[in-house]
Amino acid sequence: MKIETLAVHAGSAVDPATGAVSAPIYLSTTYERDIEGTYSRGFMYTRNNNPNREALERGVSALEGGDAAAAFGSGMAAAMALFQALDPGDHVLAHVDAYYGTSRLLRETFLRWGLEGDFVDMSNLDEIKKALRPRTKLAWTETPSNPLLKIVDLAAVAEIVHRTNALCVCDNTWAPVLQRPFDLGIDLVLHSTTKYFGGHCDVAGGIVIAKKDDDFFQRVRTIQYSGGAVPSPFDCWLILRGMRTLPWRMRAHSENAMKVAEFLAQHPKVEVVHYPGLHTSPGHEIAGRQMSMFGGMLSFEVKDGRDAAMSAAAKTKIFTRATSLGGVESLIEHRASIEGSGTTSPVNLLRLSVGLENADDLIEDLDQALG
Ligand SMILES: *Cc1c(COP(=O)(O)O)cnc(C)c1O
């Protein structure tokens, strides 16, 4: 089946009890035991599993082409489960340009708990080769990166990492559908489903998808139900509802972002635009190979520094000043001030989550804001 068809149908079935075409939301926390004391219907207690979570996991797993998935209450809870599935002393190869929250979680929490970690630029293959150790168990990739839209060559990284026993994770939050990490040799995919999967800025969630339902994934599964950082049935229902339109939304986000990037690239007040769809972008060639379109996220640096950037963000009327991404509404954000100390984001950089408005209106809004 093609991806649009999978997105509409995966994880769904007409409800056998009522004929409901849209799945009911199962709020029940507990499920009836059979007379013999077993649970032949598969559900016992909602933290362990419930029909909405199971449907979401089956759906997202089918969409990514994986074996199994485990859904969490947020993207960071999903990331945390991956780190917790490691043993003390295990070494993680992290990406210098990974999502700020992921790097912070590793640095501030998991190094204290006995993981070892090195932050390397995953777009530099020699750096990866040098940093791999006998105890490297996980290599963390993320592409396009936040907020500089740097591109990591997933197939090349997976090939190098697989010369050892380590697993390769891809945080695919920014490019669902557009990028198929399992086809490129990646072992585990993570999404913050708060972003494009939910798609409407009204639900938080995260998910880990495994190419193979192996021992490592079973550890993640155990952490999910015994640790309990699980999404509610309604959250699962909303995220799966969002998935139904995901391929079409990603196409429209990408088309709009391309137009906005091209407009900004020729604007006299703009120093540089970071968008892999532009021919001038350093990651353009690799992105063209591993992505079907270039996604809805971009950032740009304003001439005349931080104040000029802040002033442009203050003047937009359609773009809302807010963090996060992936919703139907366009957002603009001064990234350095939200990340705070230790940020790698340039002070004159603004990040855009390009939504599903008409691109002409978005361009007009940015034009008047830049002055
Ligand atoms: C938002 C985000 C996360 C964290 O997800 P939450 O749902 O906010 O916990 C992780 N990775 C990337 C790339 C993100 O954009």
Q: In the predicted model, what is the mean pLDDT of residues 256-273? A: 98
Kindly report the average pLDDT of the chain as a whole number.
97
Cα-to-centroid distance, 198 and ligand 1 (Å)? 12
282 and 307 both lie in a single domain: yes
Tell me if 353 CB under 6 Å of ligand 1: no
Between the CA of 90 and the centroid of ligand 1 the distance, in Å, is: 24
Whether residue 190 is found in the same domain as residue 254: no
The percent of residues in the chain predicted with pLDDT above 70, rounded, is: 100
Q: What is the pLDDT of residues 165-205, one digit of tens each?
A: 999 999 999 999 999 999 999 999 999 999 999 999 999 99
Nearest CA to ligand 1 atom 7: 75
179 shares a domain with 266: no
Give yes or no: residues 231 and 256 share one domain: no
Q: Report the atom number in ligand 1 closest to the C-alpha of 174.
A: 13
Residue among 192, 193, 201, 352 to mutate when testing ligand 1 (max atoms within 8 A of CB): 192
Measured CA to CA in angstroms, residue 75 lies from 26, 101, 111, 206, 267 at distances of 23, 10, 20, 4, 35
Out of 187, 213, 243, a domain closes at: 243
Of all protein residues, the one whose alpha carbon is nearest to atom 15 of ligand 1 is 173
194 lines ligand 1 (CB under 6 A): yes
Q: What share of the chain is helix, strand, coil (3-state, %, to 5)?
A: 40, 15, 45
pTM comes to 0.97
Pick the residue with more confidence: 58 or 100? 58
- Model confidence at 291: pLDDT above 90: yes
Residues 176 and 294 in one domain: no
Same domain, 235 and 286: no
Q: How many CB atoms lie within 10 A of CB 121?
A: 16
Which atom of ligand 1 is found nearest the CA of 194? 7
In short, whether 362's Cβ falls inside 6 Å of ligand 1 is no
The predicted structure's pLDDT at residue 247? 98
Show Cβ contacts of residue 152 under 8 Å, excluding neighbours closer than 6 positions: 95, 122, 123, 141, 142, 143, 145, 286
Beta strands 188-192; 167-171: pairing state: parallel
102 Cα nearest atom in ligand 1: 10
Domain count, the chain: 2
Task: Answer yes or no: is the C-beta of 75 below 6 A from any ligand 1 atom.
Answer: yes
**293-332 confidence digits (pLDDT tens):** 999 999 999 999 999 999 999 999 999 999 999 999 999 9
Q: Do residues 304 and 230 share a domain?
A: no
Residues forming the active site: 47, 99, 171, 195
64 Cα: distance to centroid of ligand 1 (angstroms): 18
Distance 173 CA to ligand 1 centre (A): 7
Q: What is the pLDDT of residues 4-38, one digit of tens each?
A: 999 999 999 899 899 999 999 999 999 999 999 99
Q: Are residues 119 and 254 in the same domain?
A: no
Is it the case that residue 339 has pLDDT exceeding 90?
A: no
Please check whether residues 146 and 91 belong to one and the same domain.
Answer: yes
Q: What is residue 284's predicted lDDT score, i.e. its pLDDT?
A: 98
Say if residue 65's pLDDT is above 90. Answer: yes
Total Cβ atoms within 10 A of residue 268: 6
Point out the ligand 1 atom lying closest to the alpha carbon of residue 193: 7
Say yes or no: 237 and 119 in one domain: yes
What pLDDT, on the 0 to 100 scale, is given for residue 338? 85
pLDDT surpasses 80 at 243: yes
Output the residue whose Cα is nearest ligand 1's atom 5.
75
Q: Which of 197, 213, 243 is the last residue of a domain?
A: 243
- pLDDT reported for residue 340: 82
Substitution candidate for ligand 1 out of 95, 97, 99 with most atoms within 8 A of CB: 99
Instruction: Please say which residue of 243, 262, 277 terminates a domain.
Output: 243
Strand (E) or helix (H) holding 202:
none
What CATH number is associated with residue 265? 3.90.1150.10
Q: What is the mean pLDDT of residues 257-266?
A: 98
Instruction: Tell me if 227 CB under 6 Å of ligand 1.
Output: no
Cα 205 to ligand 1 centre (Å): 9
Cα 56 to averaged position of ligand 1 atoms, centre (Å): 18
Which ligand 1 atom minimizes the distance to the CA of 326? 15
CATH number at residue 144: 3.40.640.10
Please check whether residue 56 is in contact with residue 198, taking contact to mean a CB–CB distance below 8 angstroms. no
Local confidence band at 215 (pLDDT 50, 70, 90 cut-offs): very high
Rounded to whole angstroms, the Cα distance separating 86 from 70 reads 16
CA dihedral (314, 148, 182, 128) positive or negative: negative
Determine which of 97-101, 125-129, 313-317 has the lowest per-residue pLDDT on average: 97-101
Domain that holds residue 258: 247-370
Same domain, 58 and 136: yes
- By mean pLDDT, which of 221-230, 254-263, 328-337, 340-349 is the weakest? 340-349
Answer yes or no: do 159 and 308 share one domain. Answer: no
Provide the pLDDT for residue 366: 98
pLDDT at 141: 98
